[in-house]
Amino acid sequence: QVQLVESGGDLVQPGGSLRLSCVASGFTFSNNVMSWYRQAPGKEREWVGHTNSGGIATYAGSVKGRFTISRDNAKSTVYLQMNSLKPEDTAVYYCNVFIGGTLRWGQGTQVTVSS
């Protein structure tokens, strides 16, 4: 059974940093692209970035240079390091994986950037 569990969300001041984690199980983690998305209140879910099986990451323009995606295949975990956070980064953050013809999502973790 595919399972994704995000953690690490919190309330942080503008300019601060957070690291989110997504622990995966139920599939061969090392073979798969892992993605991060976010959804702000009243807005559609948007792609943040992803890392391929080799650890190469690609980012949305809004987070490029501030966010870093990495993965630890031994721990079946993908990370999202977020620096220089802005109020507009406030959202629920989700990881996902495309497995067996279906997108699988975690439950999300709330990030709030506010003074």
Query: 3-state class of 37 per DSSP?
Result: strand
Q: Which of 23, 34, 32, 25 is nearest to 1 (CA)?
A: 25
Phi, psi of 13 (to 5 degrees): -80, 155
| C-alpha 73 chain-centroid distance | 15
DSSP character for 83?
A: -
Given the DSSP bridges, would you call strands 18-25 and 3-7 parallel, antiparallel or unpaired? antiparallel
Q: Which of 23, 42, 44 is nearest to 34 (CA)?
A: 23
DSSP lists the bridge partners of residue 102 as: 99
pLDDT digits (tens, 9 = 90+) for 88-110: 999 999 999 999 889 999 999 99
pLDDT digits (tens, 9 = 90+) for 2-54: 999 999 999 999 999 999 999 999 999 999 999 999 999 999 999 999 999 99
Which two tokens mark 110?
Answer: 């709330």
Instruction: Determine contact, residues 9/113, Cβ cutoff 8 Å.
Output: no
pLDDT attached to residue 29 = 95
